[in-house]
Amino acid sequence: MSIQQKIQDLRNELREHNYNYYVLDNATISDYEFDVKLKELQGLEAQHPEFYDPNSPTLRVGGEVTKNFNTIVHEHRMYSLDNSYSKEDLLDWEKRIKKLVDGEVYYTCELKYDGASISLTYENGNLLRAVTRGDGTQGDEVTANIKTIKSVPLQLKGDFPPKFDIRGEIVLPFEGFNKMNEERLEAGEEPYRNPRNTASGSLKLQDSAEVAKRPLECLLYNITGHNLGFNTQFETLDKARQMGFKVPDAAKLATSIDEVLEFIAYWDVHRHDLPYETDGVVIKVNNLQQQEELGYTAKAPRWAMAYKFKAEQVSTRLNEITYQVGRTGAITPVANLEPVELAGTTVKRASLHNADQIEKLDIREGDEVFVEKGGEIIPKIIAVDMSKRPVNSVPTQYITHCPECQTELIRQEGDAKHYCPNYNGCNPQIIGRIQHYISRKAMDIEGLGGETVALLVNEGLISNYSDLYTLKKDEVMPLERMAEKSAENLINGIEASKQIPFERVLFAIGIRYVGETVAKKLAKHYKSIDAIVEATVEDLVSVDEIGDRIADSVVEFFASEENKTIIQKLRNHGLQLEVSADKLANQTDKLKGLSIVVSGVFETVSRTELKKLIEDNGGKVSSSISSKTNFLVAGDKMGPSKRTKAETLGVEIITEKDFLLKLK
């Protein structure tokens, strides 16, 4: 037998033992025998570097050091999920689904594990890269660290698509977490707070050998890619298991919402027997074609819902109410609490939302209050323990002036919050606007963080985001924690932001109520900032999904001479204030004013590409047929009820080929 063949045989054997032990939980040899074979392979690989394999089992021990984690754009966006907390929420969700898709709807129910989200990319059966969720659009590459996790296959088994992404959670089982803490206590170190944060922190350790020491596991639940050949979510879970992934076997196919509720009721009790943290159940429409038909909102898939188990509650003392000023001038009251353990973290503060909430619950300083984590993330006060209220307690008087600049607060009719109107003279507003401007989804200025922005404003170097473009390296060098290299990176990052496309600049400038999606719609419709400046409220509300509140806010923003001056400065500095010529070249008005429904499976282009073609040519993609629908693009396997409804309403039905001919 050749040396190369011996190395390959050892690799295959160790991969199989690894899979049996870490995925199937069924060891086929002893740890000692495994270690002997691993050492033999390490020796042969050291002697014969020409047979190097980046996915060899020997590389799981780590050793690679990553100083900087590269930012990678996800080929397929990682959406967050909408949350539900009751049977009524799920029934409402089911009603919405059944209005939008044809035929019976089945559901795949899976446990929602509380870990760190990860996306693994495989090409030709080998692990290509691992990327954290990040903001859903892009994340950090952590491949070296992920390779140390034994339940992540480096090479797949059986049949597999040529390229795909698989998503899951990196979790730290309770047993391993407790053992890690015992070792830390013995060494006189602080114990870790909870498994989830420890798992998440492990992914960004610079030394992969340190990650290898942690008993992390990877639980997978979703395969994403093009033309993968799967028909249902439940089928993809089974296929993932066959390929060698660790897929929890708790998943169940439910034929009705009643069966979904039975699954939830069972696991609400039995989740405490699981070896991992879990905080709910994820329910997905099982049929992948129906998923595609349902599509996405700006933030989440319409075809999935997370049911969150009832949040943990604790009681503690409210020591003081303070007030924060946001970038829009909105005032948020904050409860400063006696520190208390809640859902694995120490809680010291909770949002009180607004004056109405304080009045409704009659919350006062000195009260004993009940706190829970809303959606397991943001702590909130849900009630006051009146039996423990001090006798000298007095009702809370909401502040009347800004806590930062002392300007008298305003509150408009119908608005829950109070606002500080000192737009250009209130420091937290100025800092907040610039922090929003540089944020990842906006201008994404590398080398510039929120703390540095605050320093730049407080030192008088900038007073608005257009001032960033006049900064010099020598000016920022004296700032705290700023060295020559970091100052250079900051200036280079600011310069690079001049290439950011118009729709993100429009989002970045911080018009109230203009989020990412609205900014894209305005940019697409008006093509340039000059056209938006000239638009009236009446013009704006004629744009798809732009209502009175957004229209008023846009007009008010550009009516400000200060804002006009800042925009002119951005223009002078060379920022993108109109849609690029490349994008315009691919856009027409051929479908302007038309409402189009897309249904079925298509051959020449994918459903996503079809929707993009409609939008690029001025049309509006609608999810359901109505009397306002201009035509229905019908693909293969379109549901009969959509066809019937279109025929009843007299809506024209055209094929994919007919549609593509319309655009030529």
Nearest 5°: the CA angle 449, 376, 251 is 115
Q: Which of 165-169, 396-400, 551-555, 593-597 has the lowest mean pLDDT?
A: 593-597
pLDDT of residue 21: 67
When pLDDT is cut at 50, 70 and 90, the band that residue 493 belongs to is very high
- Strands 631-634, 652-655: parallel, antiparallel or unpaired by DSSP? parallel
Mean pLDDT of 514-523: 90
pLDDT of residue 209: 85
When pLDDT is cut at 50, 70 and 90, the band that residue 187 belongs to is confident
Its sign, for the CA torsion 250, 253, 259, 260, is positive
pLDDT of residue 621: 83
Q: Above 60 in pLDDT, residue 368?
A: yes
pLDDT of residue 377: 59
Mean pLDDT of 132-139: 88
d(CA 324, CA 326): 7
Structure tokens belonging to residue 218: 């990877």
How far is residue 155 from each of residues 9, 26, 40, 293, 514, measured CA to CA in Å?
14, 19, 20, 33, 45
pLDDT of residue 510: 93
Give the residue with greater pLDDT, 423 vs 312.
423
pLDDT of residue 22: 65
**Total-model pTM:** 0.72
> What is the percent of the chain where pLDDT is above 70?
96
Per mean pLDDT, which of 30-34, 410-414, 502-506, 591-595 is the most reliable?
502-506
Mean pLDDT of 304-322: 90
Q: Above 70 in pLDDT, residue 62?
A: no
| Stretch(es) of the chain classified as CATH 1.10.150.20 | 427-499, 502-584
How far is residue 589 from each of residues 389, 647, 657, 663, measured CA to CA in Å?
65, 27, 20, 10
When pLDDT is cut at 50, 70 and 90, the band that residue 107 belongs to is very high
Structure tokens belonging to residue 595: 């409402």
Q: Above 50 in pLDDT, residue 194?
A: yes
If one looks up domain 100-255+269-285+294-300 in CATH, what number appears? 3.30.470.30
pLDDT of residue 625: 85
When pLDDT is cut at 50, 70 and 90, the band that residue 86 belongs to is confident
Nearest 5°: the CA angle 537, 538, 544 is 95
- Residue 379 identity (one-letter amino acid): P
Q: Above 80 in pLDDT, residue 298?
A: no
Q: 595-663 sits in which CATH class? A: alpha beta
Give the residue with greater pLDDT, 440 vs 403.
403
3-state helix, strand, coil in the chain (%, to 5): 40, 20, 40
pLDDT of residue 325: 93
Annotated catalytic sites, by residue?
A: 112
| Stretch(es) of the chain classified as CATH 1.10.287.610 | 3-61
d(CA 385, CA 315): 8
Q: Above 90 in pLDDT, residue 117?
A: yes
Q: Above 60 in pLDDT, residue 34?
A: yes
Q: What is the pLDDT of residues 319-361, one digit of tens each?
A: 999 999 988 899 999 999 999 888 667 889 988 989 999 999 9
Q: Above 50 in pLDDT, residue 376?
A: no
pLDDT of residue 308: 87
Structure tokens belonging to residue 553: 């806010």
Q: CB–CB of 555/535 below 8 Å?
A: yes
- The CATH label, of 1.10.150.20, 3.20.20.140, 3.40.50.300, 1.20.200.10, for the domain at 427-499 is 1.10.150.20
pLDDT of residue 23: 66
Q: Above 80 in pLDDT, residue 311?
A: no
| Stretch(es) of the chain classified as CATH 3.30.470.30 | 100-255+269-285+294-300
* Residue 272: burial class (beta carbons within 10 Å; 0-12, 13-18, 19+): exposed
Q: What is the pLDDT of residues 223-263, one digit of tens each?
A: 999 889 899 999 999 999 999 999 999 999 999 999 999 99
Q: What is the pLDDT of residues 419-438, one digit of tens each?
A: 999 988 999 999 999 999 99
Q: 3-61 sits in which CATH class? A: mainly alpha
Q: What is the pLDDT of residues 605-620, one digit of tens each?
A: 888 788 888 888 888 8
Mean pLDDT of the chain: 88
Q: Which fold has domain 502-584?
A: DNA polymerase; domain 1 (1.10.150)
pLDDT of residue 30: 77
pLDDT of residue 130: 95
When pLDDT is cut at 50, 70 and 90, the band that residue 28 belongs to is confident
Length of the chain counted residue by residue: 664
Structure tokens belonging to residue 266: 């069972």
> What is the percent of the chain where pLDDT is above 90?
49
Q: CB–CB of 282/200 below 8 Å?
A: no
Mean pLDDT of 141-163: 92
Q: Above 90 in pLDDT, residue 303?
A: yes
- Say how far residue 14 (Cα) sits from the centre of its chain: 36
Query: What are the CB-based long-range contacts (under 8 Å, 24+) for 351-355?
Result: 351/378, 351/379, 351/380, 352/321, 352/381, 353/380, 353/416, 354/416, 354/417, 354/418, 355/398, 355/411, 355/418
